[in-house]
């Protein structure tokens, strides 16, 4: 009989339990030990903001299987035959003798756990700003179950009235919503000029405009100092000198890989600060694997390593590491295209692949289009989506997509994520065979329509202009003719208010005399979503107008101030 294999996993959040469980399914007789510093195991950390926000009340749901069984040490021992040591910290890896030295944090007992294969899933640590007052009571992160318990207590007690969220990324936005639902007045502070920096500015501003009626949003300004009284937070002082009174501050300015254990034993750490792994999730030391938020993985589009601390990727990486620890290096993890999504109250935000901003930094020439349209028919209560598609200028290969709005963003991002993985071009998408029925989609799905717009643009059937480009023209007093082709009632409800001329599309053929005599003059056509704007442009081109542009996404993608 073969020698019993000893597998040790350090870290019990997402990647670790997945790796241990996969190893067990492949080897019933392996001796598998899971070492977890915290008291809880297999925490659904992406669910923390929703527990804080009161979407559910049972804390154990963050720790449970789909059937409701809590994943505690007893569960792992009985259901999986895995020894889970909680409240136990791995202190040192002795790679020469293949032993993990650990300490029980409750009793102080030191133990030595031998291994044949070791899997590091030590996660990430929250970044904390090195500024005065950071130690005051009332300042927290939302990284651990302990943090979630604290903020849930804040919510349930209802004593705190004002809070500041520092950081306008995914966790910051989700935390702001959770605390707002508890009746707390929220201010979001973001050092950079925009929230959600994985989005391009034009898309991020749409999210920001949606957020502003619900929370205070401050961009382009950072925290200079935390102000306290009797050891408790009472205000946040910004870099411009503004003081914001608050009793709670949640720091959400990102995380960094927790790699000390690996680094101390000479395991290679990459330029980004994560553990370097190969396609098998193996580290620089043979027989030691790593997965989850502590590692660097390749971006599949650029080939460059990135940090991608996402729960879904942690599980996928852990699965590969667990299998290879048992079977040898037989399966691989290819990397990421950095797909993500978040909920912002009743608004949804998703992205996949490269943004236009990222592509420019990498020197990749791209074409982009913006499409605003509903996710399903109006008679089925369709909701708005605004999508931005990014393709390679030369090959038209899909490189990235962003989608925001109250509609079904998840479906759109999933479609584009698979298109990117398959290295599809726009021409592959224009006739995509997707499921259609009115409760779920338009007859031509929003994603296919987006591909159609890109195809038309690349074929020269229209010239697009985005909100920023048009705003610059207006601010520079350029000689342009703004043509609104919506109906009279729509115009009364909402308008650009920039000196536009209203000629409804159905009347345009009979009112061409109201357009500039010079057919080379620049005309910008638009409507609510610019479908009619595009039709107006095609019509005018037929009548000899040479310089027509369509405002991409129409008024729904105009993120600047407008009348009503």
Q: Tens digits of per-residue pLDDT, 15-34?
A: 999 999 999 999 999 999 99
Taking a C-beta distance cutoff of 8 angstroms, is the pair 76, 41 a contact?
yes
- Structure confidence at residue 505 as a pLDDT band (50, 70, 90): very high
Q: Over the stretch 386-426, which tens digit does the pLDDT of each residue have?
A: 999 999 999 999 999 999 999 999 999 999 999 999 999 99
List b or e across 520-529, with b for residues whose CB sees 16 or more CB atoms inside 10 angstroms.
Answer: eebbbbbbbb
Residue 29, burial from CB neighbour count under 10 angstroms (0-12, 13-18, 19+)? exposed
For residue 120 the two structure tokens come to 């590091």
Whether 2 shows a pLDDT value over 90: the answer reads no
Cα-trace Rg, the chain: 27
List b or e across 223-255, with b for residues whose CB sees 16 or more CB atoms inside 10 angstroms.
Answer: bbbbbbeeeebbbbbbeeeeebebbbbbbbbeb
- Structure confidence at residue 138 as a pLDDT band (50, 70, 90): very high
Whether 323 shows a pLDDT value over 50: the answer reads yes
Please compute the mean of the pLDDT values over residues 219-248 and round it to a whole number: 97
Looking at 158-248, list the stretches that DSSP marks H as alpha helix, in order from N- to C-terminal side: 170-181, 201-211
Please compute the mean of the pLDDT values over residues 436-455 and round it to a whole number: 97
Q: What are the strands, taking DSSP E only, across 63-138?
A: 83-85, 88-94, 99-104, 110-114, 117-120, 124-126
Please compute the mean of the pLDDT values over residues 43-53 and round it to a whole number: 95
The superfamily CATH assigns to domain 340-458 is FAD/NAD(P)-binding domain (3.50.50.60)
Distance (Å) of CA 502 to CA 376, 497, 521: 28, 11, 17
Whether 1 shows a pLDDT value over 70: the answer reads no
Whether 238 shows a pLDDT value over 70: the answer reads yes
Taking a C-beta distance cutoff of 8 angstroms, is the pair 338, 308 a contact?
yes
Name the residue among 401, 371, 361, 383 with its Cα closest to residue 466. Answer: 371
The domain 6-123+256-327: what is its CATH number? 3.50.50.60
Task: Tell me phi and psi for residue 350, to 5 degrees.
Answer: -140, 155
Q: Which fold has domain 139-253?
A: FAD/NAD(P)-binding domain (3.50.50)
Please compute the mean of the pLDDT values over residues 194-200 and round it to a whole number: 97
Name the residue among 457, 401, 442, 458 with its Cα closest to residue 424. Answer: 401
Looking at 422-462, list the stretches that DSSP marks H as alpha helix, in order from N- to C-terminal side: 426-429, 446-458
Mean of all residue pLDDT scores within the chain: 96
Task: Tell me phi and psi for residue 180, to 5 degrees.
Answer: -60, -40
Looking at 332-377, list the stretches that DSSP marks H as alpha helix, in order from N- to C-terminal side: 356-361
Whether 494 shows a pLDDT value over 80: the answer reads yes
Taking a C-beta distance cutoff of 8 angstroms, is the pair 310, 318 a contact?
no
Looking at residue 3, its pLDDT comes to 81
Fold match flag (6-123+256-327 vs 139-253)? yes
The superfamily CATH assigns to domain 463-557 is Rhodanese-like domain (3.40.250.10)
- Catalytically active residues are 46
Question: Rounded to the nearest 10 degrees, how much is the dihedral formed by the CA atoms of 168, 406, 435, 454?
Answer: -70
Alpha-carbon gap, residue 112 to 119, rounded angstroms: 16
Please compute the mean of the pLDDT values over residues 465-485 and round it to a whole number: 97
For residue 415 the two structure tokens come to 């479609």
Taking a C-beta distance cutoff of 8 angstroms, is the pair 98, 115 a contact?
yes
β-sheet bridge partners, residue 186? 163
Length of the chain: 564
Please compute the mean of the pLDDT values over residues 297-307 and round it to a whole number: 97
Taking a C-beta distance cutoff of 8 angstroms, is the pair 127, 221 a contact?
no
For residue 104 the two structure tokens come to 């029980």
Q: Over the stretch 60-111, which tens digit does the pLDDT of each residue have?
A: 999 999 999 999 999 999 999 999 999 999 999 999 999 999 999 999 999 9
Taking a C-beta distance cutoff of 8 angstroms, is the pair 177, 165 a contact?
no
> What residue ranges do the domains of the chain occupy?
6-123+256-327, 139-253, 340-458, 463-557
In the numeric block, the tokens 């790796």 are attached to: 19
Taking a C-beta distance cutoff of 8 angstroms, is the pair 271, 305 a contact?
yes
Please compute the mean of the pLDDT values over residues 157-170 and round it to a whole number: 96
Taking a C-beta distance cutoff of 8 angstroms, is the pair 87, 38 a contact?
yes
Close Cβ partners of 18 (under 8 Å, ≥ 6 residues apart): 314, 315, 318, 319, 322
Alpha-carbon gap, residue 540 to 514, rounded angstroms: 12
Taking a C-beta distance cutoff of 8 angstroms, is the pair 118, 22 a contact?
no
Query: Percent helix, strand, coil in the chain (nearest 5)?
Result: 30, 30, 40
Distance (Å) of CA 427 to CA 286, 446, 499: 45, 16, 38
Task: Tell me phi and psi for residue 439, to 5 degrees.
Answer: -70, -15
Please compute the mean of the pLDDT values over residues 506-512 and round it to a whole number: 97
Angle made by CA atoms 528, 529, 533, in degrees to the nearest 5: 85
Whether 563 shows a pLDDT value over 90: the answer reads no
Whether 253 shows a pLDDT value over 80: the answer reads yes
């Amino acid at each position: 009989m073969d020698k019993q294999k000893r597998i040790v996993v350090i870290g019990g959040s997402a990647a670790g339990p997945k790796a241990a469980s996969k190893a067990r399914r492949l080897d019933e007789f392996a001796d598998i030990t899971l070492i977890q510093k915290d008291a809880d195991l297999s925490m659904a950390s992406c669910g923390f903001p929703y527990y804080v926000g009161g979407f559910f009340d049972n804390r154990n749901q963050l720790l449970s299987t789909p059937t409701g069984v809590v994943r505690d040490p007893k569960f792992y021992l009985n259901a999986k035959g895995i020894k889970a040591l909680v409240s136990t910290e791995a202190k040192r890896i002795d790679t020469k003798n293949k032993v993990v030295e650990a300490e029980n944090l409750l009793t102080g007992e030191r133990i030595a756990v031998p291994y044949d294969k070791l899997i590091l899933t030590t996660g990430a640590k929250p970044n904390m700003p090195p500024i005065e007052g950071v130690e005051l009571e009332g300042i927290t992160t939302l990284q651990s179950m302990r943090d979630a318990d604290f903020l849930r207590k804040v919510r349930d007690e209802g004593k705190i009235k004002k809070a500041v969220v520092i950081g306008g990324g995914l966790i910051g936005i989700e935390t702001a919503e959770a605390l707002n639902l508890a009746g707390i007045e929220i201010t979001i502070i973001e050092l950079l000029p925009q929230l959600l920096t994985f989005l391009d500015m034009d898309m991020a501003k749409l999210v920001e405009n949606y957020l502003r009626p619900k929370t205070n949003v401050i961009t382009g300004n950072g925290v200079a100092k935390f102000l306290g009284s009797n050891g408790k937070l009472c205000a946040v002082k910004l870099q411009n000198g503004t003081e914001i009174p608050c009793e709670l501050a949640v720091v959400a300015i990102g995380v960094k890989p927790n790699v000390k254990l690996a680094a101390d034993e000479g395991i290679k750490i990459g330029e980004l600060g994560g553990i370097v792994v190969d396609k098998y999730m193996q580290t620089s030391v043979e027989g030691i694997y790593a997965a989850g938020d502590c590692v660097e993985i390749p971006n599949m589009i650029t080939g460059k390593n990135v940090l991608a601390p996402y729960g879904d990727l942690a599980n996928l990486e852990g699965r590969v590491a667990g299998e290879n620890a048992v079977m040898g290096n037989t399966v691989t993890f290819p990397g990421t295209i950095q797909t993500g999504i978040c909920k912002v109250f009743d608004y949804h935000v998703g992205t996949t692949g490269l943004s236009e901003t990222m592509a420019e930094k990498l020197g990749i020439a791209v074409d982009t289009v913006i499409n605003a349209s509903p996710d399903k028919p109006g008679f089925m209560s369709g909701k708005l989506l605004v999508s931005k598609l990014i393709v390679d200028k030369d090959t038209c290969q899909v490189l990235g997509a962003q989608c925001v709005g109250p509609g079904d963003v998840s479906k759109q991002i999933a479609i584009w994520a698979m298109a990117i993985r398959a290295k599809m071009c726009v021409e592959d998408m224009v006739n995509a065979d997707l499921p259609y029925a009115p409760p779920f989609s338009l007859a031509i799905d929003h994603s296919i329509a987006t591909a159609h717009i890109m195809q038309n643009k690349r074929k020269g059937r229209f010239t697009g202009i985005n909100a920023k480009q048009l705003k610059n023209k207006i601010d520079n007093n350029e000689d342009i003719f703004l043509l609104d082709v919506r109906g009279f009632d729509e115009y009364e409800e909402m308008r650009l208010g920039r000196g536009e001329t209203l000629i409804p599309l159905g009347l345009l053929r009979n009112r061409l005399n109201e357009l500039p005599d010079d057919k080379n003059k620049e005309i910008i056509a638009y409507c609510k979503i610019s479908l009619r704007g595009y039709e107006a442009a095609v019509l005018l081109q037929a009548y000899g107008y040479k310089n027509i542009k369509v405002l991409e996404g129409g008024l729904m993608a105009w993120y600047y101030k407008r009348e009503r």
